[in-house]
A and B are shown apart, each in its own frame.
Chain A
Amino acid sequence: MLSLTPVEIDALLLSLRVGFWSVAICLPLGLLIAAILARCRFPGRWLLDGIVHLPLVLPPVVIGYVLLVLLGRRGIVGAWLYETFEITLAFTWKGAAIAAAVMALPLTVRAIRLSLEQMDRGLEAAARTLGASEFRVFMTITLPLCLPGLLTGAILAFARSLGEFGATITFVSNIPGETQTLPLALFAETQVPGDATPAIRLTVIAIAVALSALVASEFLARRVAKRLGGGQEGAS
């Protein structure tokens, strides 16, 4: 019972890998978009806001299909990626990470944007009067002070990626060892009549991963709050 089967190990490691890369894509992209939405005023801002939030309101299958059309081997962007860099996204774990990142992005943007908007901008002005360049202001004031938002954004993205199902199965299918993450493996098991044990084992693994992530995030949030001198709580 305690030792995992190769299928389970594959699914678990793949889920973690997809989750990690999804967060790695979401954080910088989310920070950029959140900064634009929180700080810039330009015509068409509502459009950017709307596009970023689409995955939150559209059925995930639609997102998966759009990704397939755009990023598939014969898709507009996908064909170019393949010809230029020989990168294939469709039906690979990289595609799964992209699908998870697209689904998670609105959550990351919202979390970071909230902390940017709550931040005391007077502190940035104070740094400027002390001679700090815009880059230094960003690195030493803005970024550290919106750390709670970045942390929340990362945790939400990771959790969303672990649970991603619809867009993933549409875009990259359900290939054991390549794109079969925990939810997809569980779905495959539920399609097989008979013994329910494999499905229950996968469920327990999913719960264990989710709980560990929660505990780790709580620990990190406390450390960040302490670093900020107790003056700021995590934005969530």
Chain B
Amino acid sequence: MIAVDITVRRGAFTLNAAFEAPSNGVTALYGRSGSGKTTIINAIAGLVRPEHGRISIAGSTLFDSDAEIDLPSAKRRLGYVFQEGRLFPHMSVERNLLYGRTAGADPHPTLAETVDLLGLAPLLDRRPASLSGGERQRVAIGRALLAAPRILLMDEPLASLDAERRAEILPYLAALRRKLDIPVVYVSHQMDEVIRLADTMVLLEAGEIVASGSVEALTSRFDLAPLTAERDAGAVLACTVAEHDPRYRLTRLAFDGGSLWVGVLNLPVGEPVRVRIGARDVALALTPPSGISMLNVIAATVTKIGSGSGPQVDIGLLAGTTALWARLTRRSVAELGLVPGMTVHALVKSVSIADAATGPKLDAG
């Protein structure tokens, strides 16, 4: 487990951060630029010294102002992937990869494994200056992994890349996430990256932690929508592949409280898949609809009706333990007479698969 509880002051900026993250899986530090995300991982890495507080990984203390412990970066055994890669320009890719490799240290992962995982074989003899942005980041990730770290820190590793390069490197990160057995702290201001890669999320604004918890829990909270919703609000659902229907080329994804049919996914049954359902893509009916083309109708209870004076109202729903989110016009809410506690049927117009390599939005009409 990673436990962070620190205060950092830099001029007029003050960061107060206290959170815990599980010892495996990806924890995303999410917030706008200037919210203090990078300061937190720099403090974990020992590159920024907090005014006071504690930082520990798996019970071993890296920093404790009361006990006057401040381990130098070199002794913290971490892997840090910087936004700009920071490859050493005077060394070949291979020498960069092996820089953090010390004699007698954990021999895993090996160079061969890492090269294989990140597709670096054709790059080994090249110089960083001749690599593309995506290649550089892959080398930077490999270099961090080969130092056999106890924790992997990633500071917006995709931010300096264009959309095409991001799409090129995301599958590597997703594969990494499944293979790593060390905690990863991932700084990002892109919700799609967070949904795709993170398990836990720490939401930051102006140097304060606004909320932390599972990605599913935080994305379903109305009050956090201004921070979590980039373009449109929506809920993230943790599903598993339940069955495939080869005849109609569909896959059923089960979650606690229901299931969803989506276009066939090339994943084995039982594989976890995270999907996102936009609030605008959910319609509500009071009775189970019949004679409609939609495949996905989920029985749910209204938990919350958003306030606000705009033409649209957010409706919080709960199916089993899974939160859903619908955005309706104020008039529809009035005509249906929606109140918390009512049982409704959510008609899901489309589902986007956030986790699988198939990527783009699939209509499930």
Interface residues of A (CB under 8 A from B): 120, 122-123, 125-134, 140-141, 144-145, 227-232
Contact = CB atoms under 8 A, between A and B. Distances in A.
Contact of A129 (B47, B90, B127, B130): B47
Interface string B54-86: 000000000000000000111111111010101
A144 B90 CA distance: 8
B90 A130 contact: no
A141 B102 contact: no
A141 B88 contact: yes
Most A-side CB within 10 Å, residue of B75, B80, B88: B88
Contact of B73 (A129, A141, A229): A129
Contacts of A231: 89, 128-129
Contacts of B74: 128-134
Nearest to A137: B74
18 contacts: A123-B88, A125-B73, A126-B86, A129-B46, A129-B47, A129-B76, A130-B74, A131-B77, A131-B100, A132-B100, A133-B74, A140-B88, A141-B88, A145-B90, A229-B127, A229-B128, A230-B127, A232-B89
B129 A127 contact: no
Contacts, number: 71
Given A144-B90, A228-B90, A231-B89, A129 B129 contact: no
B302 interface: no
Main secondary structure of the interface of A (DSSP, over half): helix
A130 B128 contact: no
B351 interface: no
B233 interface: no
A133 B130 CA distance: 28
Nearest to B99: A130
Contact of B79 (A129, A134, A144): A129
Nearest to A136: B74
Best-buried of A131, A144, A232 by chain B (most CB within 10 Å):
A131
Contacts of A128: 46-47, 72-74
Contact of B80 (A129, A132, A232): A129
A88 B12 CA distance: 59
A145 B143 contact: no
B80 A131 contact: no
B104 to A, nearest CB: 12
Question: Interface residues of B toward A: which range?
Answer: 20 to 34
B89 A145 contact: yes
A153 to B, nearest CB: 18
Given A123-B88, A232-B89, A130 B147 contact: yes
Main secondary structure of the interface of B (DSSP, over half): loop
A144 B47 CA distance: 22
Which 10 interchain pairs have the tightest Cβ spacing?
A130-B100, A229-B127, A229-B129, A128-B73, A126-B86, A231-B89, A129-B80, A229-B89, A231-B129, A228-B90
Nearest to A231: B89
A98 B310 CA distance: 82
Contacts of B130: 229
B78 A129 contact: yes
A120 B89 CA distance: 11
B129 A130 contact: no
Contacts of B73: 125, 128-129
Interface in B28-62: 45-47
Interface in B80-108: 80, 82, 84, 86, 88-90, 99-100, 102
A91 B77 CA distance: 57
A229 B90 CA distance: 6
Contacts of B88: 123, 126-127, 140-141
A227 B102 contact: no
A81 B262 CA distance: 88
Nearest to B84: A122
Nearest to A228: B90
A220 to B, nearest CB: 15
Contact of B90 (A133, A134, A227): A227
